[in-house]
Amino acid sequence: MAEAVQGVPELTKAERMKVPRHAMPAQEPLARIRNFAEVALGYAAESALKEAQRCLQCANPPCVKGCPVAIDIPAFVELIRKGDFAGSLAKIQETNTLPAICGRVCPQEEQCEIVCVLAKKYEPVAIGRLERFVADWERVRGEVATPQLAAPSGHRVAVVGSGPAGLACAAELARFGHEVTIFEALHKPGGVLVYGIPEFRLPKEIVAFEIDNLTRMGVTLRSNFVIGKTATVQELFHEHGFDAVFLGTGAGLPYFLGVPGENYIGVLSANEFLTRVNLMKAFDFPRTDTPVRTGRRVAVVGSGNVAMDCLRVAKRLGAEEVVCVYRRTRNESPARKEELEHAEEEAIDFRWLSAPLAILGNEEGFVTGMRIQRMELGEPDASGRRRPVPIAGSEYEIALDTVVMGIGQGPNPLATRSTPGLELNRHGNIVADEKTLMTSIPGVFAGGDIVTGAATVILAMGAGKQAAVGIHEWLARLARGEVTKPAPV
Amino acid sequence: MFSIVHKEEIAPKFHRFVVEAPEIARKHRPGQFVMVLADESGERIPLTIAASDADAGTITLVVQEIGKTTMAMGLLTVGTKLASVVGPLGTPTHIERFGTVVCIGGGAGIAPLLPIAAGLKQAGNRVLSILGGRSQDLVILRAEVEAASDEIFYTTDDGSFGRKGLVTHALADLIKERGRPDLVVAIGPAVMMKAVAEMTRPNAIPTLASLNSIMVDGTGMCGACRVAVDGQTKFVCVDGPEFDAHKVDFDLLIKRLRMYLPEEQTARERFLASHTCRATAGVSDG
């Protein structure tokens, strides 16, 4: 049994507004740039109780509508206030199977917290920090209960990819009583949660724990299995005996800029840089076998969350000068505010309004620098952001040892190219029905970055859940003989 | 899964592994490779599949001890499970009846050449093979390639076996004596493939090379393996590993293969230091 925690009293509405939002402790910047341990340290129980006290318990809560998976936020926060942390976690798990992850990496400031009624005059309830708190509290105590599962349906579903979309889809399907196998191409499950997001933002132990929960729910994991190579989608139906397939293969194709010099040694995609460090533990070389080299001066091109991760990893690997090169300004940066602030605290040199013109190298083929064009903001473009335009004669060069391209990823084509009849858009993303997420092939569903292009963990999870509902309904129709599995090609 | 069911040293520092991998064995086509992670803290390395047996559910890999990872693999014993074997990856060789095909293998490149030569012969081609190495010991898989060839020629750097010289010398003579072949397939060190490409370019003899660049995931995700082909950036892992040798920028490939030389050296020395100690201890015990 969990130890009993004393709740805190309910405050009047007026009193609640007077309580300031509780800060979350974090490692000091000077200390943390020398280690890979988690930066944000999470609430202590006392802060969590007091933060929970601030919630206005709105009758018609806007935060729930802001959440891509519609967590009953007031209910879980109220259970924290009462000291019922296990009940609070169970409430979250009704709609979200990965709370320790979402509490850390969701952009709450754009979703649930931005619409919090308190945010109009004061600061919003720290919903993300509270979600993280209960998940961590119960995990540390080993008290996490396995969700209830429906009776076995007799249907088998293949989930392709073990990133956020696949994990969320698998959990939901298991709850519906379906037999689920997740196929993962890499040797460790978790997708971008494992190869992409660094340890200091999302400890891998937490990802492993959440995945263990899935196996406890009866989900089978097949690592080292590439759909499109080890078996095709067609073969999943006709040789492996699955009744439906979910494709959550993500955005696993790195983009390069197309400027001269991109093949010099020392120019890496963000995917390569992060995979070497996060999945292959290159920060521990030579105790581990996969190397990574940054040299003294590193530039990361781009300013999204992936670029922030690369900048901060480079700093932790010991690079002295770490430069962010971005053609727009801080205001247009797609990174989360918290990530930008963390990077700024870690003394990253931000070069806003700077566009790379060329990567420079030497005879041996190694990177030596970058030629940069200064920009200014012009008229708004199609994205609504002001378009950066070059300032004539403003080119300059910086000396570098490593360049990391953090300008985005496209859809990995291995699964899609090997699936005849699967409709793709002009970017190579899968076209899926907006409601059911079924693709042009009956019984094949898709969601997450492979459909939307690179987005966030929580949007992918939302899509995984949505597809699970679509799959569940389709399987019911399959059982009634109203639909049939795709015919062998 | 991924148990080593057979292992033998086929030449000094060359090991043949037969590994249990039924799904890969079933799907393997000549020209494809696997990514292997020998143990959890190891490095993922690409290894071309030298043979597969769908009925037995096994694939054959030939590993040359070069760096830390391959030297450590040399010490593995039958029954050991490899942490990860993924595949079959890459685009299979396009095999059809071309006519006369010259298959050139150098050093460790002879292993991936074997299934391609066998596939080409089975498709009705006249297969003339040229195998080369530094010395007789290092010209591996001679009987196997011979069985897959109509004729076979050998070269060694030191003249200890076959003709003294490089595979390109044998190729030049072959073209002179037998005329223009319909296709040349070259697999070996990047410098060898470059030399073959230069030799066949003047007569525009179609020439394929199988590239051996550095990879991390092997599934198109990281871009470490990128090469320039006809001025375009290509990923060896998904677009290759075989390309039109006349269009490959071999100088870039050779430079990029040197990326981690200092780290490879560090890892090798560290490994040798720890294993030399153990070997010495073993000797004193005996």
On the question of pLDDT at B283 being above 50, the answer is: no
- Residues composing chain A: 489
Residue A196 CA, distance from chain mean position? 8
- The alpha-carbon radius of gyration of chain B (Å, integer) is 19
The answer to whether residue B172 neighbours chain A at the CB level (below 8 Å) is no
Q: Which residues of A touch B232 (CB under 8 A)?
A: none
A365 touches chain B (CB under 8 A): yes
CB B38 within 8 A of CB B69: yes
Confirm or reject contact between B91 and chain A (CB < 8 A): no
Which residues from chain A sit within 8 angstroms of residue B219, using beta carbons?
Answer: 185, 226, 229, 252, 412, 414
Contact B45, B59 (CB under 8 A): no
Instruction: List the Cα angle B274/B277/B283 in 5-degree steps.
Output: 145
Distance CA A289, CA A282 (A): 7
Q: How many CB atoms lie within 10 A of CB A440?
A: 15
Which chain B residues contact residue A187 at CB under 8 A?
A: 37, 44, 83-84, 86
Q: At what angle do helices A127-140 and A73-81 cross, to 10 degrees?
A: 60
pLDDT at B205: 96
CA distance B115 to chain A (A): 18
Q: How far is B259 from chain A (nearest CA, A)?
A: 6
The rounded radius of gyration (Å) of the Cα atoms in chain A is 23
Nearest to B41 among A224, A254, A289 (CB): A289
Interface check for B257 against chain A (CB to CB < 8 A): the answer is: no
Q: Is A239 on the interface with B (CB under 8 A)?
A: no
Alpha carbon distance, N-terminus to C-terminus of chain A: 55
State whether A226 and B228 contact (CB < 8 Å).
no
Predicted confidence (pLDDT) at residue B150 exceeds the cutoff of 80:
yes
The answer to whether residue A62 neighbours chain B at the CB level (below 8 Å) is no
Please name the residue ranges forming H helices in chain B.
22-27, 68-74, 110-122, 142-147, 167-178, 190-200, 236-239, 250-256, 261-285
Cβ pair B222:A275 closer than 8 A: yes
Residues forming a β-bridge with A451? none
Q: Which of A230, A256, A276 sits opposite B87 (nearest CB)?
A: A230
**Chain A residue with Cα closest to B87:** A230
Return all residues near B270 (Cβ < 8 A) that are at least 6 apart.
A286, B68
Among A225, A275, A293, the residue with its CB nearest the CB of B263 is A293
- The answer to whether the Cβ–Cβ distance between A226 and B83 falls below 8 Å is no
Q: Do A198 and A385 meet the contact criterion of CB atoms below 8 Å apart?
A: no
> String of b and e for B75-92 (b: at least 16 CB within 10 Å)?
ebeeebebbbbbbbbbeb
Q: Establish if A271 touches chain B: CB-CB under 8 angstroms.
A: yes
Burial B19-39 (b: 16+ CB within 10 A, else e): bbbbbbbbbbbbbbbbbbbbb
Nearest CA in chain A to B232: A258
The pLDDT tens digits of the residues spanning B172-199 come to: 999 999 999 999 999 999 999 999 999 9
Say if residue A463 is exposed, middle or buried (CB neighbours under 10 Å; 0-12, 13-18, 19+): buried
Q: What is the pLDDT of residues B217-249, one digit of tens each?
A: 999 999 999 999 999 999 999 999 999 999 999
Cα–Cα distance between A130 and A118 in angstroms, integer?
Answer: 16
Q: How far is CA B225 from the centre of its chain?
A: 16
Q: Which of B84, B233, B255 sits opposite A224 (nearest CB)?
A: B84
Residue B174: strand, helix, or coil? helix
A286 contacts on B by Cβ (under 8 Å): 263, 266-267, 270
User: What's the sign of the alpha-carbon dihedral A227, A231, A237, A242?
Assistant: negative
Q: Would you state the pLDDT for residue A144?
A: 67
Does the distance separating the beta carbons of A412 and B221 come in below 8 Å?
yes
- Interchain contact, A286 vs B252, CB within 8 Å: no
Residue B232 gets which letter from DSSP? E
Which among A404, A406, A447, A403 has a CA at the least distance from the CA of A429?
Answer: A447
Residue A17 Cα, gap to closest chain B Cα (Å): 48
Q: Residue B180, exposed/middle/buried by CB under 10 A (0-12, 13-18, 19+)? A: exposed
Chain A residues within an 8 Å CB radius of B33: none
Min Cα–Cα distance to chain A from B274, Å: 12
Q: How far apart are CA A239 and CA A477, in angstroms?
A: 22
Per-residue pLDDT of chain A (489 residues; tens, 9 = 90+): 445 688 999 999 889 988 999 999 999 998 999 899 999 999 999 999 999 999 999 999 999 999 988 999 999 999 999 999 999 999 998 888 889 999 998 889 889 999 999 999 999 999 999 999 999 998 888 766 777 889 999 999 999 999 999 999 999 999 999 999 999 999 999 999 999 999 999 999 999 998 998 999 999 999 999 999 999 999 999 999 999 999 999 998 999 999 999 999 999 999 999 999 999 999 999 999 999 999 999 999 999 999 999 999 999 999 999 999 999 999 999 998 889 999 999 999 999 999 999 999 999 999 999 999 999 999 988 888 889 999 999 999 999 999 999 999 999 889 999 999 999 999 999 999 999 999 999 999 999 999 999 888 889 999 999 999 999 999 999 999 999 988 877
DSSP A404: E
Mutate to test the interface with B, among A265, A287, A289 (most CBs of B within 10 A): A289
Do A287 and B41 count as a contact with CB atoms less than 8 A apart?
yes
Place of tokens 């750097």: B157
Tell me if chain B has a CB within 8 Å of the CB of A362: no
Cα gap B76→A286, rounded to integer Å: 20
Rounded Cα distance, B103 and B116, in Å? 8
A276 chain-B contacts, CB cut-off 8 A: 216
The CA distances from residue A206 to A95, A136, A199, A202, A223, in Å, are 19, 9, 10, 7, 18
Distance from CA of A137 to the nearest CA of B (A): 30
B228 and A CB contact within 8 Å: yes
| Confidence category of residue B285, pLDDT binned at 50, 70, 90 | very low
pLDDT at A202: 94
**Considering CB atoms only, which of A186, A263, A413 is closest to B217?**
A186
Burial of B218 (0-12, 13-18, 19+ CB in 10 A): buried
Helix runs in A106-179, H state only: 127-140, 164-175
B138 touching A, CB under 8 A? no
Provide the CA B152 distance to its chain's centre, in angstroms: 18
Tokens encoding A244: 């439906």
> Which chain B residues contact residue A256 at CB under 8 A?
223, 233
**From B70, which residue of chain A is nearest by alpha-carbon distance?**
A289
Instruction: Report yes or no: B37 at the A interface, CB cutoff 8 Å.
Output: yes
Residue whose structure tokens are 């299979």 = B92
Per-residue model confidence (pLDDT) at position A96:
87
Smallest CA-to-CA distance from A124 within A46, A78, A63 is with A63
CB–CB of B68 and A265 under 8 A?
A: no
CB contact under 8 A, A268 and B224: yes
Question: What gap in Å lies between CA B219 and CA B76, rounded to an integer?
Answer: 26
d(CA B263, CA A256): 26
Question: Torsion angle of alpha carbons B234, B239, B240, B245, nearest 10°?
Answer: -50
Structure tokens at B256: 């990029």
CA distance A285 to A7: 47
Question: Which among A232, A255, A272 is the top mutation candidate for probing chain B, defined by the most B β-carbons within 10 Å of its own β-carbon?
Answer: A272
Please name every residue paired with B153 in a beta bridge, in sequence order, or none if there are none: B130
Q: What pLDDT does A3 receive?
A: 57
Would strands B183-187 and B100-106 be described as parallel, antiparallel, or unpaired? parallel
Out of B68, B220, B270, closest to residue A414 by CB? B220
Q: Where are the alpha helices (DSSP H) in A39-98?
A: 45-52, 62-66, 73-81, 85-93
Size of chain B in residues: 286
